[in-house]
Amino acid sequence: SYVLTQPPSVSVAPGKTARITCGGNNIGSKSVHWYQQKPGQAPVLVIYYDSDRPSGIPERFSGSNSGNTATLTISRVEAGDEADYYCQVWDSSSDLHVVFGGGTKLTVL
């Protein structure tokens, strides 16, 4: 089945840019979605279809996807962005239709 690989942790200073990667075989050919999960809360969609933002999500959140890597970029990071971030794809080539990455803990220094 398809595997998505995320770094366990990323650290960034306030005001700087955070980049969280999601690796997968030819992931550029798939649609990637990103979720933010704060402690004790349900995941919230922050990016869909690689780079689209749902209403209410700040423009500081952006996404890209090419080759074997998708990237979630958070500009001008704030303390409130500290959370776990998960990527997700739909794998039509197997019976495991929905695949999540292992998650990345974003720490704001």
Partner 1 sequence: QLQLQESGPGLVKPSETLSLTCTVSGGSISSSSYYWGWIRQPPGKGLEWIGSIYYSGSTYYNPSLKSRVTISVDTSKNQFSLKLSSVTAADTAVYYCARREAAAGSWFDPWGQGTLVTVSS
Interacting residues with partner 1 (CB under 8 A)? 1, 30-31, 33, 35, 41-45, 48-49, 54, 86, 88-90, 92, 94-103
Which CB sits closer to partner 1, 1 or 26?
1
Report the distance separating Cα 72 and Cα 83, nearest Å. 13
Q: Name the strands in the sheet holding 69-74, side by side, starting at the edge strand that comes first in the sequence.
A: 18-23, 69-74, 61-66
Query: Looking up tokens 């979630």, which residue turns up?
Result: 72
Q: In angstroms, give the least distance from the CB of 13 to partner 1.
A: 26
Q: At its nearest, how many Å lie between partner 1 and the CB of residue 30?
A: 7
Other Cβ atoms less than 10 A from the Cβ of 20: the count is: 24
**CA torsion through residues 48, 51, 55, 56, sign:** positive
CB of 96 to partner 1, least distance (A): 6
In the bound complex, what is the minimum distance in angstroms from residue 71's beta carbon to partner 1?
Answer: 17
Write the single-letter amino acid at 46.
Answer: V
Please identify, using beta-carbon distances, which residue of 16 and 38 lies nearer to partner 1: 38
